[in-house]
Structure 1
Amino acid sequence: MRGTLPTRTVALVASAALLALTACSAGSSTSPGSSPGGDQSLSVGLVAEPASLDFTTTDGAAIPQALLGNVYESLVKQDESGKIVPSLAKSWTVSPDRKTYTFDLVDNAKFSNDKPFTAADAVFSINRVKSAWTVSLKSAMDVVQEAKALSPTQLQVTLTKPSNGWLFRMTTRIGAMFSETGVSALATTPVGTGPFTFAKWNRGDSIVFERNENYWGTKPFFNQITLKYFKDPTALNNALLTGTINVIGTVQAPEALSQFTGNDKYQVIEGTTNGEVLLSFNNALPIFSDIRTRQGIRQAIDHRALLDTCFAGRGKLIGSMVPPTDPWSEDLTNVAPYDLAKAKSLLQASGAAGKTLRLRLPTLPYAISCGQVVKSQLEQAGLKVVIDQQEFPAQWLTTVFKNADYDLSIIAHVEPRDLGAVFNAKYYTRYDDPTLQQYLAAADAGDEAAQIDNMKKAARRISEQAAGDWLFLLPNLIVADKNLKGLPQNAITENFDLTRLARS
């Protein structure tokens, strides 16, 4: 989850770009931008403040949203189209058996504690994911057999088996590079090689970054950027209207956009995201062991009416855990179409009708708003629903995500390609399906055609088995000062890229 969203997931699948068996890409790891603007500052309004600044031990998309790419860098990263491009690695090659990756690193990067970045730091960072990380997404590094420094600027990573997913995962938080001398206080003092350095954290209010004047690549335009956090969408909107902030990074009340669209002081950006808003089921509970209960819940939801009611019709209806920007996307919205009579029949047949379900919602505006609609629609189908709001992030992450103490929940999963991460027995969905795991394994190990084919099978499998219900895909809605440029049209990575922002 990210910004307005929460916890998360590391999907076990990857990009077709990873299948190239020869030299991948080369060149500068930073995008050309405006020259630094001197004494220039910017404030960005977001929702869902991080519970900690340490994403190695704390779940939650708000941490990499703020830090990844801005303070921490990875060997490779994604551009806005989803292509894997250089970052701290200038170029890389892949062996013919697709198990050995050799990276040529930049030779002038330094951490904010003034230590030079070398291949030894990359080895340390990769190994530390396996040995010290405690979040579930660390499993994406299990495929690594060995990482070794061939020289200060050359790294070799050997996998136990071919994996389409591994290099793609290296663009996410597990690919962040750390200094061995800079990991003693990750929860409060991040140390990275990025274009910004961490300045201060005013808990409950804001995080401040300062431009890294010793940055090895293209320096950002702004010398200071403040991320300000708002729990209330009206307060977030008012902050932009009054000049307290310059950007609404994640619009929470799309029905209020009209106050900005008709005002020439502002620009409104609307694109797409990876943010699948999931009505999650606790599949470990007996009531959900009957597929008729799960299917009945899915067919009781009028998704179009829900989207129109709780998110002003913004966003896209989807029928599984795949956004349209993924290569294996296909329209599965007709797998479980809204049919109230069918829903009632299924719930009666499974014995679920009349039962009470706890809908535990994070205190995020979209979840609270959409939760009311879900409650109403499920009660029309014969269920009883009790809403229980859980403070986000701390309470929801502990109660629902960590302890799986819930029946239903709503959360936007924003990590890229996270189908396999979300739907497995160890995740909070507690979804245990050997057939799904077979499809995911075949997708990870196969060639490009096999990957796409098996990922389509995986997406169809969780939809037909009603592993959850996909309410809609969040749009990328940003409102900002008119003279601000460099804002992303689409949000398909874990981070909010501050490095491209500039004033015209």
Structure 2
Amino acid sequence: MRAGLRAAAAACALVLALSGLAGCSQEGASDTVVLGATAAPPTLDLTTNNAAAIPQTLLYNVYETLLRVDDGGELRPLLARSWSQSADGLRYAFRLDDRARFASGARVDAAAVADSLNRMRSRPTIEVVRTQLAAVAAVSAQGEDTVVITLKQRDNFLLYNLSGVAGIIIDPARRSDLARHPAGSGPYRVTGFSPGESVDLEASATAWHERPQVPRVRFSYYADATSQTAALLSGDLDVITDLTTPQAVSRFSDPKRFTVTRGTTNGEVVLGLNNFTKALSDRRVREAINMAIDRKGLLDVVWNGQGTLIGSMVPPTDPWYTDLSKRWPYDPARARSLLAQAGHAHGLTLRLRVPTLPYATASTRVITDMLGRVGITVVTDELEFPARWLDVVYTRADYDMTVIAHVEPHDIVNWANPDYYWRYRNPTFTRLIAEAASGPAGQSTAKMRQAATILSDDAAGDFLYLMPKITVAKAGITGLQRNAASLSFDLTSLRRSSR
């Protein structure tokens, strides 16, 4: 390292120690784009951990799939240049792009794809992935260029599932340390990982479909949204991937310095209710909670009125969307009456355990106040995210209520799993989800619409709002996605013009 750069690095370290900022730019580092995000990945192993921060960084950037979801929510070819389905829906054939290469230089052939998908469905892995691949009976290679997936039963959601974590293709020769060294075929490869702080990516020498225009990218993680905003304003950061303090948008109004992009997401922010606990197993209590919370008022406070009210676990971009946002109107008097009917006329105490994410902690303050007005005492507990929240709430379901954004596409299906952390059990809902997946494709949308209505009517949770997508970048940085239609923060089209 040259003496000048060593001095700059030392000065940067001192500034970071004094300011608490998580990133710092150096002179001469213009070939790196620094992205600021909030939730940090606890590991880089997508096969063992369900944290959404991992695919945000790696999906489509480091790992690729047979097909991908584009910015408009449509399926597009990726490793597979084309695919076909048998008339009975039980056999898919994917024709691979013969140009595809792993970062190691090895070809992404049919044997490697089959090996990766078979490992994902047969070895211990995250529960959501096992569920998404449950209908698969076999994955096999036919020659070097064709992969065949045979199903036990029709799965109308399979293609979408294969475009996400369940469908990532891992280099079979390089999977000994996926927690720190992911081995994919994407345009970037991981060159550094500091848990809780940053992930460094570098353009892969074997990028096969489009050479990255930005040689290096760093994801820097900020627990404090104020520090993240300050870092972009001071020049230590190039992009805020998701602005979680919309009140700060006005600070980036100068188009000569910044570009603000607004879009939509799959991120349903849910007041999750543990349906297994004694109080919350009573539908009247769940209804009371829904009617005690002014969702429009909460959205105004937490997101400055930006975002969308939804009423069920379905964003407007899904084909089975119905506007159910008015199903449970704000009615504190009715909420108090329902609580009295349920035997809680003299009050009820519930634990609200939330992740340390800005939208969740801000929502908690509003929810605590609103529930308190109808006689529900809320005991709050902020859990470090992701590790602590995933352990206490997601894995052990040791909670009464929580606030979290679920960003996976088509994630309403998780409510059909009685062991998921909501512990929701409704045989009719579960049957409809199963029929939508495995029944005639032409009936799938109607079945999903029925299921979404049941979920809302049952007050299984309180579907607070759909998160907006607000990205802020320095002027000259282009090619950023407008919407969050998948789990990926896609860097494929990222550009940085000289200024």
Deviations 1:199-245 (A, max 9, x none): 00123321100001211111111000000000000000011111111
What is the match of residue 480 of structure 1?
473
What is the match of residue 421 of structure 1?
414
* 1:464 aligned to which of 457, 462, 466: 457
> What is the CA–CA distance in structure 2 between the aligned matches of 1:133 and 1:210, rounded to whole Å?
30
- 2:41/2:196 contact within 8 Å kept: no
Q: For 2:482, give the aligned amino acid.
A: Q
- 1:75/1:171 contact within 8 Å kept: yes
- Quote the offset at 1:300 in angstroms: 0.4
Q: Secondary structure at the match of 1:360?
A: strand
TM-score by length of 1: 0.91
Q: Secondary structure at the match of 1:102?
A: strand
* 2:58 aligned to which of 61, 67, 70: 67
Q: How does 1:64-213 map to 2 (within 5 A)?
A: 64-137=55-128, 138-213=130-205
Q: Secondary structure at the match of 2:468?
A: strand
Q: Are 2:209 and 1:255 aligned?
A: no
Q: Are 2:289 and 1:297 aligned?
A: yes
Q: For 1:178, give the aligned amino acid.
A: I
| RMSD of aligned Cα (Å) | 1.3
TM-score by length of 2: 0.92
- 1:287/1:352 contact within 8 Å kept: no
- 1:39/1:223 contact within 8 Å kept: no
- Quote the offset at 1:263 in angstroms: 5.2
> What is the CA–CA distance in structure 2 between the aligned matches of 1:251 and 1:420, rounded to whole Å?
28
Q: Secondary structure at the match of 1:186?
A: coil
- Quote the offset at 1:55 in angstroms: 1.5
Unpaired runs of at least 5, structure 1: 1-37
Q: Secondary structure at the match of 2:291?
A: helix
Q: For 2:450, give the aligned amino acid.
A: K
- Quote the offset at 1:66 in angstroms: 0.4
What is the match of residue 266 of structure 1?
258
> What is the CA–CA distance in structure 1 between the aligned matches of 2:318 and 2:102, rounded to whole Å?
33
- Quote the offset at 1:111 in angstroms: 1.5
Q: Which has the higher contact order (CA 8 A, sep 6+)?
A: 1
Runs of 4+ aligned structure 1 residues displaced above 3 Å come to: 446-449
> What is the CA–CA distance in structure 1 between the aligned matches of 2:452 and 2:253, rounded to whole Å?
36
Q: Are 2:337 and 1:345 aligned?
A: yes
> What is the CA–CA distance in structure 2 between the aligned matches of 1:467 and 1:169, rounded to whole Å?
24
- 2:110/2:144 contact within 8 Å kept: yes
Q: For 2:45, give the aligned amino acid.
A: D
> What is the CA–CA distance in structure 2 between the aligned matches of 1:81 and 1:478, rounded to whole Å?
16
Q: Are 2:36 and 1:45 aligned?
A: yes
Deviations 1:377-423 (A, max 9, x none): 01111111011010111110100010000000000000001001145
> What is the CA–CA distance in structure 1 between the aligned matches of 2:90 and 2:205, rounded to whole Å?
38
Q: For 1:76, give the aligned amino acid.
A: L
- 2:201/2:217 contact within 8 Å kept: yes
Q: Secondary structure at the match of 2:265?
A: strand
- Quote the offset at 1:39 in angstroms: 7.2
> What is the CA–CA distance in structure 2 between the aligned matches of 1:159 and 1:287, rounded to whole Å?
41
Unpaired runs of at least 5, structure 2: 1-28
Q: For 1:321, give the aligned amino acid.
A: M
Structure with max Cα Rg = 2
> What is the CA–CA distance in structure 1 between the aligned matches of 2:84 and 2:374, rounded to whole Å?
56
Q: Secondary structure at the match of 2:259?
A: strand
Q: Secondary structure at the match of 1:103?
A: strand
Q: Secondary structure at the match of 1:287?
A: coil
